[in-house]
Amino acid sequence: MDIPSELRFTKNHEWARIHGQSATIGITAFAVEQLGDITMVELPEVGDELTAGEAFGTVESVKSVSDLYAPVSGTVTKINEALEDEPERINGSPYGDGWLVKVSVTEVSDDLLDASDYGDLIAEQG
């Protein structure tokens, strides 16, 4: 399974691409594989505050509904509006077109994993 080395990961299978004080957040390919076909996503609104480690939305699939947990704290600056009509973009490109939100970062969680540690985690869970 491809695990992009530039990303940081939560133990709940969210990822963050951090550039300075901004971050793009999504869910991992492993999460997508576990969920199956994604049918709906509930995301926060622009201007909402996220707190690292706390739920900020949900993703619904044919199998289940799962909470999304923030890998960073900060203010939502953009949401992926395309997911409203095409949530399946997450299945097709979890690290690309399937991103969820962009955040102006105030704090990065100390619990984030690098690609190697995340690979070890999913090997244990897989």
Mean pLDDT computed over 63-78: 96
* In the predicted structure, residue 88 carries a pLDDT above the cut 90: yes
27 inside domain: yes
Q: What residue type is 108 in one-letter code?
A: V
- Between CA 3 and CA 40 the distance in angstroms is 24
What CATH number corresponds to the domain at position 48?
A: 2.40.50.100
Confidence of residue 2 (pLDDT cuts 50, 70, 90): confident
Give the count of domains, the chain. 1
* In the predicted structure, residue 92 carries a pLDDT above the cut 90: yes
- Please give the residue range of the domain that contains residue 35: 8-119
Task: Identify the bridge partners of residue 97 per DSSP, sorted by sequence position.
Answer: none
13 inside domain: yes
Q: What residue type is 96 in one-letter code?
A: G
* In the predicted structure, residue 20 carries a pLDDT above the cut 90: yes
126 inside domain: no
93 inside domain: yes
53 inside domain: yes
Predicted pLDDT of residue 30: 96
32 inside domain: yes
* In the predicted structure, residue 126 carries a pLDDT above the cut 80: no
Confidence of residue 44 (pLDDT cuts 50, 70, 90): very high
- Between CA 3 and CA 29 the distance in angstroms is 8
Report the b/e string of 34-73 with b at 16+ CB within 10 A: bbeebeebebbeeeeebebbeebbebebeeeebebbbbbb
pLDDT digit string, tens, across residues 93-121: 999 999 999 999 999 988 999 999 999 99
54 inside domain: yes
